[in-house]
């Protein structure tokens, strides 16, 4: 209802004369979707993409550093793995609430929880990817006179790319899904309209379906794009 009565001639009213579909609380009232794409669905979708991109990028950065430590110093591998697992195990709703005393009811709180959830998948996939490099490959690298650093950047890391990208796919899809829970704290992202629809007495079917449908579509689209990236970055996998 925000600003729909603003200047500029007849704007489709968001209330007043609801269609029969809306009166019946139908599942797919196109008139509602059309009139609220601009003020509800599209902004929520954009916020959701932002939430996800930020969480996945920062989470990847942190996990990469942790994984370097865990990979080089085996002593730290088990504790770091257990730590990321611990974060992953905390139920999302509880995680958001437990952060409130520290960072308040803010988007930052949602981001911190989402970042924490990505660490588990990233850490495990990066370390296992790096460890998965066959011993004879490392032997030949040493035989060619590569230093340890060169071996890491030119041999181990490139060979770990498939495992790492598999982790990026899982983390991205999970983040898109979990981010909807964040709207319990704060109307933000696609969880906003979902919680909104659920808070209505009879549950507003169209809004529920539209917002959660967008979340699923976003997840599947991201997964497909990352799968294509995976294919493009690992041409050797296509040969066999």
Partner 1 sequence: MLASLFVDTLRFIGDNADLLFQKTVETAELAFTALGISILIALPLGLWLGHRHRGLFVALGVSSLGRALPSVAIIGFMIAILGVGFWSNTIALVVLGIPPTLTNTYFAVEGVDRDVVEAARGMGLTEFQILGRVELPLGLPFVLAGIRVSAVFVIATATIAGLFGGGGLGDIMADFSFYGLPGTLAAALCVSTLALLGAGALTLARNSAAHRMAPSE
If one asks whether residue 173 binds partner 1 (CB under 8 A), the answer comes out as: yes
Task: Mark the segment that binds partner 1 (CB under 8 A) among 4-12, 53-61, 133-141, 180-188.
Answer: 180-188
If one asks whether residue 52 binds partner 1 (CB under 8 A), the answer comes out as: no
If one asks whether residue 14 binds partner 1 (CB under 8 A), the answer comes out as: no
If one asks whether residue 97 binds partner 1 (CB under 8 A), the answer comes out as: yes
Query: In angstroms, what is the minimal distance from the CB of 85 to partner 1?
Result: 8
If one asks whether residue 89 binds partner 1 (CB under 8 A), the answer comes out as: yes
Query: In angstroms, what is the minimal distance from the CB of 198 to partner 1?
Result: 5
**CA separation for the pair 209, 214 (Å, rounded):** 8
If one asks whether residue 220 binds partner 1 (CB under 8 A), the answer comes out as: yes
CB 222 within 8 A of CB 173: yes
Locate tokens 């730290």: which residue? 76
One of 46, 98, 229, 233 touching partner 1 (CB under 8 A): 98
If one asks whether residue 133 binds partner 1 (CB under 8 A), the answer comes out as: no
**b/e per residue, 131-168, with b = 16+ CB within 10 A?**
eebeeeeeeebeeeebeeeebbeebbbebbebbbbbbb
C-beta pairs of 18-25 under 8 Å, 24+ apart in sequence:
21/206, 22/206, 25/202, 25/203, 25/204, 25/205, 25/206
Cα distances (Å, whole numbers) of residue 239 to 161, 201, 233: 16, 57, 13
Cα distances (Å, whole numbers) of residue 73 to 52, 65, 66, 196, 225: 31, 12, 11, 48, 34
Query: In angstroms, what is the minimal distance from the CB of 118 to partner 1?
Result: 13
Cβ proximity to partner 1: between 36 and 205 the closer is 205
Task: Mark the segment that binds partner 1 (CB under 8 A) among 13-21, 63-71, 100-108, 131-139.
Answer: 100-108
Q: Which residues in this chain contact partner 1 in the complex, by CB under 8 A? A: 85-86, 88-95, 97-98, 100-102, 170, 173-174, 176-178, 180-181, 183-184, 190-191, 194-195, 197-198, 203, 205, 208, 211-212, 215-216, 219-220, 223
């Amino acid at each position: 209802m925000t600003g729909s009565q603003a200047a500029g001639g007849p704007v489709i009213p968001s209330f007043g004369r609801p269609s029969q579909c809306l009166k019946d609380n139908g599942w797919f009232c196109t008139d509602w979707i059309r009139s609220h794409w601009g003020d509800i669905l599209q902004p929520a979708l954009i916020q959701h993409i932002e939430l996800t991109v930020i969480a996945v990028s920062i989470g990847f950065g942190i996990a990469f550093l942790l994984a370097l430590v865990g990979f080089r110093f085996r002593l730290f591998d088990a504790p770091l793995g257990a730590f990321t697992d611990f974060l992953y195990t905390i139920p999302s709703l509880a995680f958001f609430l437990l952060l409130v005393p520290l960072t308040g009811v803010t988007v930052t709180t949602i981001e911190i929880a989402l970042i924490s959830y990505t660490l588990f998948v990233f850490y495990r996939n990066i370390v296992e990817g790096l460890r998965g490099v066959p011993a004879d490959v490392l032997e030949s690298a040493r035989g060619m006179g590569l230093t340890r650093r060169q071996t890491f950047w030119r041999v181990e890391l490139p060979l770990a790319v498939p495992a790492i990208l598999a982790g990026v796919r899982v983390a991205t899809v999970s983040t898109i899904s979990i981010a909807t829970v964040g709207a319990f704290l704060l109307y933000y992202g696609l969880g906003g309209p979902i919680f909104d629809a659920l808070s209505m007495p009879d549950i507003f079917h169209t809004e529920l379906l539209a917002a959660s449908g967008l979340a699923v579509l976003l997840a599947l689209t991201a997964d497909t794009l990352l799968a294509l990236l995976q294919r493009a970055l690992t041409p050797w996998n296509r040969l066999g």
